[in-house]
Chain A
Amino acid sequence: MTWLSKSPWILHYDASSCNGCDIEVLACLSPLYDVERFGIINTGNPKHADVLVITGGINEQNREVVRNLYAQMPDPKVVVAVGICASSGGVFRECYNVVGGIDCVIPVDVYVPGCAARPESIIDGIVKALSILEEKKKNGTQSSPAPGSGAGGAQ
């Protein structure tokens, strides 16, 4: 592992989650799971973040917000969809206001299963994302523009 995966910073956004996965993402920061020992820090600023962790499915109102957050993150970047709602819409798939999983709006690199996803599997998913991040760095991959936004990823 090189410098990038030694201290990845995470941006967490709650799309239309029930909170179950959100509090499990936050639980990863608590002393029992303590992801900070890996140098992982939860930041509130998209311009500081390497990994975008999204919980919950996309709905009509947060579509643009998610697209915006993704576009603001510097390259290389990876997206982790946490929980079944973020992966496919989950139990709310049929609701009129839910569009579907995160991959309807932005490209997703890692899907973490579970309702709610357990902290262990969330950590697992983020570790998996780190090797993808490393790969992207090596290949100099630029993110594909967020679909429909017309804007490329931040350079």
Chain B
Amino acid sequence: MTRDAQETTLVERDHLIGIVEEFRKKGYRLVQMSCTKAGELYEINYSFDLDYQFRNIRIVIDGLSEIPSISGIYWGAFVYENEMYDLFGIRVVGMNIDFGGNLFRTAKKNPFANPTFRGEETCPKR
């Protein structure tokens, strides 16, 4: 297998909507959105594809700031945005369908922001 280099373009949060609109105009489809915690910051990746050409853009924010929703451009983005809110606590403004933190009902709030694990303690019997 030859190594295929994937490029990720870092963009400003304020330019995000314009860039995503550009992708949509060119006919790209939204592949996925994901969030990664890097230290205290959060990297948010937006991936697009046109004829198997994979493009990836990234914004980096701190945990307190909000990001604009792209669900006005790609209607289906709401699942990723709600997921990001539920798992990481990233606030997304202007989602077309806002589950208000109820898409994933989890044991603790924003579990992926500070992952914890169940220890070796045995489960409470009955």
Bind each other: yes
Cβ–Cβ contact A96 & B107, under 8 A: yes
Q: Which of B12-20, B57-65, B88-96, B116-124 contacts A (4 or more CB under 8 A)?
A: B116-124
Cβ–Cβ contact B105 & A61, under 8 A: yes
Cβ–Cβ contact A60 & B124, under 8 A: no
Cβ–Cβ contact A104 & B106, under 8 A: no
Cβ–Cβ contact A94 & B126, under 8 A: no
Q: Which residues of A contact B123 (CB under 8 A)?
A: 89, 99-101, 103-104
Q: Which of A64-119 contact B (CB under 8 A)?
A: 89, 93-101, 103-104, 107
In whole angstroms, what is the CA distance A101 to B118 when docked?
13
Q: Which of A7-37 contact B (CB under 8 A)?
A: none
Cβ–Cβ contact A97 & B111, under 8 A: yes
In whole angstroms, what is the CA distance A107 to B125 when docked?
10
Interface SS majority for chain A: loop
Q: Which of B34-64 contact A (CB under 8 A)?
A: none
Q: Which of B8-32 contact A (CB under 8 A)?
A: none
**Smallest CB separation, B51 vs chain A (Å):** 32
**Smallest CB separation, A16 vs chain B (Å):** 12
* Interface flag for B108 (CB, 8 Å): yes
Q: Which residues of B contact A101 (CB under 8 A)?
A: 123
Cβ–Cβ contact B118 & A104, under 8 A: no
CB nearest neighbor in A for B117: A94
Please give the number of chain A residues whose Cβ is less than 8 angstroms from any Cβ of chain B in the complex: 17
**Smallest CB separation, B30 vs chain A (Å):** 26
Instruction: Please judge, given known A-B contacts A89-B123, A104-B124, A147-B126, whether A96 and B117 are in contact too, CB under 8 Å.
Output: yes
Cβ–Cβ contact B118 & A96, under 8 A: yes
In whole angstroms, what is the CA distance A104 to B41 when docked?
37
Q: Which residues of B contact A147 (CB under 8 A)?
A: 126
Chain B residues engaging chain A, CB cutoff 8 angstroms: 105-108, 111, 115-118, 122-126
Sample of 17 further A-B pairs with CB below 8 A, known A60-B107, A96-B108, A97-B107: A59-B107, A60-B105, A60-B106, A89-B123, A93-B118, A96-B111, A96-B115, A96-B117, A97-B111, A99-B107, A100-B122, A100-B123, A103-B123, A104-B123, A104-B124, A107-B126, A147-B126
